[in-house]
Each structure stands twice: as structure tokens, then as C-alpha cells.
Chain A
Amino acid sequence: MSQISATFVRVMKELLRDKVLIFWSVVFPIIWLLMASFVFLSSAPEDEAAPLKAAFTVSMITYAIIIAGIVDLPGNIASDRSRGMLSKLRSMPVKQLDDFLGRIFAFLVFSTIAIILVLIIGTLLGARFSMDMVSVLQSAAFIVLAILASCRIGLIIGTVIKGEQGAVYTGIAIALITSFAAGIFSLYSQLPSPLQFFSRIYPISSANSSLIFLLVGEDTAGYNPLLVGQLAYTIFSSLVLYIVGLAIYVKFSWRKE
């Protein structure tokens, strides 16, 4: 058994057995989906409601990713620190990178479970997606980028904020503020122009727009996020800043005091 798989199994079990975490990461986005369908879009004609439901389903997928990466990941790291697990690990022949990869894989799989559940509920509620193979593969890539970007923020929070509660509350605050500001809970076209600019430069909302563009259409996305400059920026900001998060975690979370 490698250190990566040992860490993956441990973190995965912790995530799947924490009821509060399951609620906020999986059930909460589903509640929003139900509300959107049965309250906000209940009187809309089917041909208008379907793309909006699809866009909202994509946004809730992104929201589930945001919560897992920005709230649950730092909570997991800070919890390990506050209960002495990181001290224990520092005293063992554990490779920091292996611990990191084990954690990230666990969050990747956990986010994927959340995504599948949200997608199933969204589809059952009437969301319709353009599901050609190219779009699906491109969407999978953007989902990975969104996960990496969220985890990057989560790694920084988990490293900088020492206490578990502090890390979780900071994560929630950042997740909610950025989600509202970047249009995760609304359509891009409804945002005022300064926030539209923020939505384009914030890697997670940029990935979210790319998903809506690919799976629902440009009209609902509000702009074309797959133009070369925007696309390059989304990939660059997600990947490079993810490496920054990794470096900060490995250097400071594991630093000897």
C-alpha cells in the first residue's frame, strides 16, 4: 500500500462519514436545484425552463466543487493539524507530496460523486444538455480545472488558518462571496459589468461559464468563454495557481515549527 493510497482511503472515508459535510457539499446544492425548479421556474414554459434548469444544474455542480475544495479541504487539513495528526505525520517517514496527492485524489473522487448526484437530480427535474462526445470530454476537463482551482484556494486557507472552525468559516465566507459575485447563483447576463469582469477572471466562474457554454449554449452562458485568450487564461490561472497552492501547503503546512 503506498502512502498516496493510504491517505486517499483515510480521507475518503472521513469525507463520506461526515454527515454535516455531506449535507453542505451534496444535499445543499440539490436543495437549491429543487427550489429553482419548483419555485423560481415552475411557471416558465418548458422550452424556456429547460436551458435555465440545465444552467442552474451546472452552477450547482460548480457550487458542490467549490464547497468541497474551499470549505471541506481546508477543514480536513485544519482538523488534522488541531488534533495533532500533522505532528504525528511530521514525525513519521511520510512524504509530503504523497500526503498531498492522497488528499487531492480523495477530494477529486468526492467532488465527482457530488457532481454525478447533482447531475442526476438536475436531469430528473428537466434539465437538458447538449451531450455530444466532444462537449462531454471538454466539460470533464473544465470540471477538473474547477476542482483544481477550488482546491488551490482550499489549500491556502487550510495552511494559513490554523484552527478547524476558523478554516471552515473562512472557506464558507470566501465560497459564498465569490459565488454570488461571480454569478454562480445567477446568470452571467444578470450581473453588473464590474462583476461580469470578475466572473471572467475568477478561474472557477470562468470554468463554470465554459461548462454552461458547452453543455447548454452561448445564449445562457452570456459570453463565449472558449475564445483563445479567455480559455488560455482559465487554464493558466487554474493550473499555475494550483501549483502555488500545492507549494504553500507542502512548505508551510508541513514546516517544522
Chain B
Amino acid sequence: MDSNKDAIRVNNLTREYNDTTVLAGVNLIIREGEFYALMGPNGSGKTTLTSIIACVRRPSSGNVEIYGKSPDKAKDIIAYIPQDNFSSPYLTGRENLTYFAGLLGYSKKEARKIVTEILERIELIKDADKRVSTYSGGMRKRLEIGTALFPSTRILILDEPTTGVDPTGRREFLGMLNEMCKGDLTVLMTTHIGTDAEMATRVGLMDKGRIIAEGQPEELKSKIGLLSIVSVKTAIKNKKIADALAQFNGGKLPLETDRGYRIYSKDATKATPDIVRILEGLGCKVIKIEAANPTLEDVFFKLTEKTLLGGEAR
């Protein structure tokens, strides 16, 4: 549910550490109720940007407004979930949430009621009285998201929430996030995983401290003309194969994935048999080849010639 109100407004934000520029003049507007994903490789400035918005770090210049106020004056409506697991492993899930309820000024009685409601919502009620040290990564992340579910929260800032979480935990977590976004909560999430970012209503691609492209996921994909992609899974990967595939990729080296390559071709159907022939000619066994839909990782690669894991095109 988007409104026309600006929940977060970032104006020409910069941040430097010693001689390194981490944020180079970021401008960003996130409307109330929007789910905004900030996607980029490690070191692109995502965490610095979100931690400045969450009042954890200071900018070198520029400013942030939360509903027109400085973040310092809007702490009561922001819930920031850092990348690290901040919950105490010595406490139970219930005790952790009760601690945060206490910090937010709830009475014992109110805290007990609201914490039980939150535990039900994050589906941890059965494990509520177990110590967090016994939780899986996904359960712990859900518990920490629970600290954002107190009624005062209007803006949720998540820093790489699925990093280090197993696939099941990640699926559970994203499902829960999806449910949370149905209200008027404004969500800002950083990620380097394209499929996570696809859940958002709007995505900002970040590289070298700047937002280099912004829009709805489908809009971003169509904007840069990524219509035809060949995904090829090979038995081996090496420079000779990548060089050979460049001819189908507009003369540029293809995007290397963990299973093979992604080739941005003008006509995937026509290119496929030629790709198989060339690869077999090089003695490389093709395990699977198919025309694929573009992802946000493809968009990022097309714009920066870099993968989201931070590697340059080889």
C-alpha cells in the first residue's frame, strides 16, 4: 500500500572513511508503505547508507529525513535490523523480545501480551521458551524481525537479512516479510541476492557509493533491453570457453555463474545451437542450455560489468 507521503528522504548523502568515499552523493526517496530493496555487491555502500538512515552512523555531508524529521527524532518509529545476529544467545526468544519491549517502555503486563502476539506472528510461539543459542539461523532472524513488530514501528530497515540463512529459513523469512509488507509499513532492505530484491515494489541498484539505477523490477529489466538470455550449464569453466562465448554476447565476456554462463544474445533461440556446436568443438560438455528470463543480477551485470558477488567480468 503506497501513499504519496515521503517516509524516507535522503539528500545528497556522502560518507568518507579516511580517504575512501563510501557514499558519493546518494539521493533517495521512499514513499510510505513502499517496499524498497537496495541491491549491490559488498562494499557498494548499502550498509553505510542504511545505518546512517537508522541513526547508527553519521554522514560526512548531506542529510536524511524521516517523515520530515531528522532520524535522531524519529527513533521511536524506526526498527533497524543489522546484518549480525544481535539477539542474546543466553536468553530465550520470549526473554529477548521482552527486553526490547522494556526498552520501548511497555509495562510488564503489556509486554507479556504483545510479546506473545509477536511470537505467534513470527511463528516462534512453540520455541518461545527455548534459548536462542538452540535456534537455527532462520529462526533467529525471524526473532530479530520480531523486534520490529511492536506497534510503534512505521519504518523497517533490514540489512542483508538473508545472509547466512539456509534456503528453508530464507524462504520462511521472505514469506513472513511479504506478509508484513501488506500493511502500511515502509520497508528498506539491502541485499545482494536478485531473487530477494524481486519481492520489492521498487529496487535501487547500488555501486561505488551511488544508486546507478532505480525502478520496479520489471521496469529495470525492460529499461536496459535484456530480453533474450541463454543460460548454459557446462561441465567445466575456463577462459577459453568464456572467450568463445563472447561472440554471442556482443563481443563482451559472458556473466559467469556458479553453474556456467549467462549470455545476453539478440536472439536466444537462434544462438542456442551455435553455442552448443562451439562448446562441443572446444571439448566442453554442455549439461544444460536454455533460454532464460532476465534477473536483477543480469541488470546489474549489464550496467556495471560486475557480478553482485563483487567480481569483475573475466
Q: Which residues of A contact B (CB under 8 A)?
A: 1-3, 5-7, 9-10, 13-14, 17-18, 82-85, 87-94, 256-257
Contact = CB atoms under 8 A, between A and B. Distances in A.
B57 interface: yes
A91 B75 CA distance: 6
Contacts of B88: 10, 14, 85
Contact of A87 (B80, B95, B103, B104): B80
B57 A1 contact: no
B101 A1 contact: yes
B116 to A, nearest CB: 16
Contacts of A2: 102, 105
A110 to B, nearest CB: 13
A30 to B, nearest CB: 23
Contacts of A17: 90-91, 131
A163 B51 CA distance: 20
A26 B57 CA distance: 39
14 contacts: A6-B103, A10-B88, A10-B95, A17-B90, A17-B131, A83-B84, A88-B80, A88-B82, A91-B56, A91-B75, A92-B100, A94-B103, A256-B57, A257-B57
Interface stretch (B26-34, B106-114, B122-130, B265-273): B106-114
B42 interface: no
B78 interface: yes
B84 A1 contact: no
A83 B140 CA distance: 13
Contacts of B80: 87-88, 91-92
Contacts of A92: 75, 80, 100, 103-104
A257 B18 CA distance: 12
Interface in B65-96: 75-76, 78-86, 88, 90-91, 95
B18 to A, nearest CB: 13
A117 B104 CA distance: 35
B169 to A, nearest CB: 18
A73 to B, nearest CB: 16
B56 A90 contact: yes
Nearest to B99: A10
A6 B82 contact: no
A1 B82 contact: no
A164 to B, nearest CB: 12
A90 B100 CA distance: 13
B90 A18 contact: yes
Contact of A5 (B78, B102, B131, B147): B102
A85 B56 CA distance: 11
Given A84-B83, A88-B81, 15 more contacts: A1-B102, A1-B111, A2-B105, A3-B103, A3-B105, A10-B99, A14-B88, A17-B90, A17-B91, A83-B84, A87-B56, A87-B86, A90-B56, A91-B56, A256-B55
Contacts of B101: 1, 6
Interface residues of B, number: 36
A187 B157 CA distance: 57
What is the predominant secondary structure among interface residues of chain A facing chain B?
helix
A10 B55 contact: no
Contact of A1 (B51, B85, B106, B147): B106
Interface in B187-217: none
Given A1-B111, A10-B91, A257-B58, A87 B102 contact: no
Contacts of B82: 84, 87-88
A197 B146 CA distance: 55
B50 to A, nearest CB: 10
B200 to A, nearest CB: 21
Contacts of A82: 84
B148 to A, nearest CB: 10
A101 to B, nearest CB: 13
A1 B83 CA distance: 28
B54 interface: yes
B109 to A, nearest CB: 10
A222 B75 CA distance: 56
Nearest to B102: A6
Contacts of A18: 90
Contact of A91 (B55, B102, B108): B55
B90 A14 contact: yes
Interface-centre pick from A90, A91, A92 (highest chain B CB count, 10 A): A91
A237 B58 CA distance: 35
Contacts of B105: 1-3
Nearest to B157: A91
Nearest to A257: B57
Given A1-B108, A6-B99, A9-B99, A87 B91 contact: no
Interface in B12-70: 51, 54-58
Given A1-B108, A10-B99, A85 B55 contact: no
A9 B102 contact: yes
